[in-house]
Amino acid sequence: MSTPTRIAPAHWIGGKAVAGTGDTVPVINPATGEVVAVVPAGTAAEVDAAVAAATAAFPGWAAVPPAERARAVGRIADGLHARAEQIAATITAEMGAPITLSRSAQAVFPVAVAASFAGLAADFPWREEIGTSLVLREPIGVVGAITPWNFPLQQIVSKLAPALLAGNTMVFKPSEIAPLTAQLLADVVAEAGVPAGVFNVVHGTGPVVGEAIAAHPGIDMVSFTGSTRAGRRVAAVAAQTVKRVALELGGKSANVILDDADLPRAVEHGLASAFANGGQVCGALSRMLVPAARHDEIVDLVVAAAGRYTVGDPLAETTRIGPMATRAHQERVIGYIERGIADGATLAAGGPARIDGLGTGAYVRPTVFAGVDPHAVIAQEEIFGPVLAVIPYTGDDHAVEIANGTVYGLGGAVFGEPDHALAVAGRLRTGQVDVNGAHWNPLAPFGGYRQSGNGREFGRYGLEEFLETKSIQR
């Protein structure tokens, strides 16, 4: 079994490890309850120091030609690839992702993202002639980045790679729940030849370090990924200094299965999305919309497929669903399952009961509800756990109405005859829609409508988030 190399986390400021001077935050393995590390609980003083380092480093880094910055981002991709096994084991230990998922996704996606950005520089229009005007794309300045625990490395690399390529410097706060890969990333960035002060890490909690980053007058942009509730707070605090804010927030994505779909494939793909990473994915397809006339047939397929999702020790190669990231989150997810039952949804699989033989780990049974009212709490609120709501509809218009009938608009999917599915996909009010199980494309934009946030990640669109546009009239 894989175990992480012991990491001694510290702040990373100005190219040096900086020990905390006050309180610490324990990092707990949710499968065992064991404390695997502690990180310093940073304060506004550490944020000030990190901003000073990033500000000092900005002019030099911004002056580096884009092609050279791109090569540095490519070296970061290579460095992450070389540490893939350590990264996978570390993420499994700190937030409970099954080791197979940590190897195939948690450690792989950041490499693909960094490499994709490294390849953008050559063809990107850093300078454009528009009539008599010269249009320049320039770095914003110092970027504050705040990320969650569910994909702890991918989330920051999705910000760091385009921010560095654009010529910005960064102050980063990882989630205190899963902060350990931040130290690995700092090491990789330094080894890639990125100058000291360009990338800085301050550990700590959202109410202290996150607030200080969002409010800091020396930070020119905040890029935040997390809950919609926290995103509202970041936007409100950042508004006081009128800095740019990019928000990638929650979701309640719908998987619309049309009456001409390949049902087994649609169910398998939809359930894989709903239960991936224990359902702790912002774009999880947590609502399955099905033709009312075929509801029971599809539920039978869903229940059979759900039975193959083994819950257990995340270090076991056969485990498909590990623990929730924390005991508090376990209780939250179980509370939603209990609410679904209380509100009259049909419990088709799983339920709120604890799982025998798994000790005190933060485990939740993968759960399927059938016949769910589209206005029910479990069909409207982001649960962020392995809970699927199967919702019947009558006709395409009804399906689109249900799919668009939440405050969110992050992801979605449609399964059906290709032209039919594409037409329905075009009607969904969401930032990304997969048709018939399309593969992830790291060059395609990702981001939300409505309360799923603003801004876009990945590819050219993600790079543009970190650039200012200057027009020189001649």
Residue numbers annotated as active site: 248
The residue to which tokens 């935050």 are assigned: 25
Phi-psi region of 50 (alpha: psi -120 to 50; beta: other; left: phi over 0): alpha
CA dist 344 to 53, 237, 333, 368, 406, Å?
Answer: 56, 40, 17, 13, 20
Half-sphere exposure of 289 (CA within 13 A, CB side): 28
Closest C-alpha among 93, 114, 204, 209 to residue 156: 114
Q: Could you tell me the two tokens for 183?
A: 């130290």
Long-range Cβ pairs for the range 304-308 (8 Å, 24+): 305/267, 305/268, 305/271, 306/271, 306/275, 306/349, 306/350, 306/366, 306/368, 306/388, 307/349
The residue to which tokens 């309360």 are assigned: 451
Longest dimension (CA), the chain: 74
Paired residues of 393 in beta bridges: 291
